[in-house]
């Protein structure tokens, strides 16, 4: 279930706010400049290719390209049996920023985006049909869990794709990880 948890930076293990209401999630994230949408379901086989996935969501992807100036879209997928899953997880677990919006639409599976705003950290468990657009310059990190299972459409303004600037902050290691927040509502 799509879930937003809000933690206080100085008490990351303490009680925190949790909501699963899509409108509350949308409004709460919008107040921080984060775009959150839920797109209609498209039934695709598990073996769908990048081309088939992009074709199924062509209207939505084109709308975002026109609206936001994105130049490219691709599909990223990771499964629990991928031999480099641990290395990929570790790569995204450190707080970082980008010089462009980070946009992900979950075609299947789920993943946890952490967004750091001042003294609060918003943890958004995204799942199938969720779109998140993290504004450029926003401090954040991503946790796919120890057994990742997701496929996402990514949109970029920079043709080079994912380029991160790591903050060097340790905050990501102080908050509950995917394992603790998966299924929390």
Q: Three-state SS for 96?
A: strand
Please measure the distance between the N-terminal and C-terminal CA atoms of the chain and give it in whole angstroms. Answer: 8
32: left (phi over 0), alpha (psi -120 to 50) or beta: alpha
Task: At 105, list the tokens.
Answer: 């639409």
Binding residues: 96, 98, 102, 140
* Nearest by Cα to 79 from 103, 108, 51: 108
| Max CA separation in the chain (angstroms) | 45
* Nearest by Cα to 172 from 97, 110, 96, 109: 96
Distance CA 160, CA 154 (A): 12
Binding residues for Ni(2+): 96, 98, 102, 140
Binding residues for Fe(2+): 96, 98, 102, 140
* Nearest by Cα to 152 from 54, 80, 64: 54
């Amino acid at each position: 279930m799509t879930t937003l948890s809000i933690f206080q930076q100085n008490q990351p293990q303490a009680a925190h706010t949790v909501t699963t209401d899509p409108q509350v999630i949308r409004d709460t994230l919008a107040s921080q400049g984060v775009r959150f949408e839920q797109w209609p379901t498209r039934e695709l086989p598990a073996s769908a290719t990048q081309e088939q996935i992009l074709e199924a969501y062509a209207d939505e992807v084109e709308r975002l390209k026109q609206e936001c100036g994105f130049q490219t879209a691709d599909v990223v997928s990771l499964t629990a049996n991928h031999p480099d899953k641990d290395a990929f997880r570790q790569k995204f677990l450190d707080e970082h920023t980008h010089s462009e919006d980070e946009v992900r639409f979950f075609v299947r599976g789920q993943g946890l985006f952490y967004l750091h705003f001042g003294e609060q950290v918003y943890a958004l468990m995204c799942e199938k049909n969720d779109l998140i657009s993290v504004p450029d310059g926003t401090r954040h990190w991503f946790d796919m869990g120890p057994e990742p299972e997701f496929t996402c459409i990514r949109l970029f303004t920079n043709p080079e794709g994912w380029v991160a600037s790591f903050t060097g902050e340790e905050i990501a290691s102080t908050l509950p990880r995917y394992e603790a927040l998966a299924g929390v509502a």
